[in-house]
Amino acid sequence: MQKEKIKRILPTSIWRAGSQAYWWWHNRGRHVSSRLTSPVWRCNRKQMLVYENIHAGKRAFIIGNGPSLKHMDLGLLKNEITFGLNRIYLAFPEIGFSTTYLVSVNDLVLEQCAKEMAKLNVPKWITWRAHKHFKPDGKTHFIDSDYTGAEDFNHTCLSGRFFEGFTVTYVALQIAYLMGIREAILIGVDHNFSTKGPANTVVVSTGDDPNHFSGKYFGRGFKWQLPDLEGSERAYHLAYNTYKANGRSILDATVNGKLTIFDKVNFTTLFSQNGKGKA
């Protein structure tokens, strides 16, 4: 490979400096540049501002994509505020409705699924890194997100910088917070993968996907990254503390989920007369 040849020729210090410069540009530099020069970003920023505190005081469901979704009555969510993640749209035909929003920031997912996502008639929140795959259409909002640098929680504005927290669920929690959501309820966040290996390793599926609600989610031939569960837990703690410090809450209604950071709640009781009901 050309990359390996160059790496052998160059001194280690120069290779390392060049590599660091490249990844800084990929993850931060081009975002910063776009803030200053891109008319697409300026228009995008105005569109995002409309959503700030749009759901003030309400509750919302953030739908992960774990196998546990197959054991839930998702029809109960039809009239709720919902944040769907990545390829949740594969479930739309079965449940009979679309989520209120779609959030996706993973480069590999977006490279392979952008055409499918672009056809969805829902407001989408997509990392700026993938803006080349989408046409500005009033429903596609590009967020300034990255997965390096400060591990923090964006509680200031939708046009600010989002730390991705090793999971798109964390990004959705930040967006929900900035939309004014008082109570965020997680479902389908199983926090458990049957496919094992070093965190962030890129793999290619060789058959049906056992880690999500559909075998087609990351089906045969799909390129994806193994999860960083420890990293995502650090991010979830940040989310928990930020919500709590501002009189808000995050609940976990995932069926048999392995995540232990948020208070657990029974999903069905949230819709019963004896439960909390719709906020």
Structural domain harbouring 1: 1-37
23 and 111 assigned to the same domain: no
Please report the pLDDT score of residue 277 as a whole number.
46
33 and 95 assigned to the same domain: no
Please report the pLDDT score of residue 23 as a whole number.
65
Flag whether 276 is in a domain: no
Q: How many Cα atoms sit within 13 Å of 28 on the Cβ side? A: 10
pLDDT digits (tens), the chain, 279 positions: 455 555 556 677 766 666 666 666 666 666 666 776 788 888 898 999 999 999 999 999 999 999 999 999 999 999 999 999 999 999 999 999 999 999 999 999 999 999 999 999 999 999 999 999 998 788 999 999 998 889 999 999 999 999 999 999 999 999 999 999 999 999 999 999 999 999 999 999 999 999 999 999 999 999 999 999 999 999 999 999 999 999 999 999 999 999 999 999 999 999 975 444 444
29 and 46 assigned to the same domain: no
Count structural domains, the chain: 2
**Alpha-carbon distance 34 to 18, whole Å?**
22
Q: Position of tokens 């090793």?
A: 166
266 and 218 assigned to the same domain: yes
Please report the pLDDT score of residue 135 as a whole number.
87
Please report the pLDDT score of residue 173 as a whole number.
99
Flag whether 279 is in a domain: no
238 and 113 assigned to the same domain: yes
Q: How many Cα atoms sit within 13 Å of 90 on the Cβ side? A: 18
Please report the pLDDT score of residue 79 as a whole number.
96
Q: How many Cα atoms sit within 13 Å of 183 on the Cβ side? A: 14
Please give the single-letter amino acid code of residue 123: P
* Model confidence, pTM: 0.88
Which DSSP state fits 71? G
Please report the pLDDT score of residue 17 as a whole number.
66
16 and 138 assigned to the same domain: no
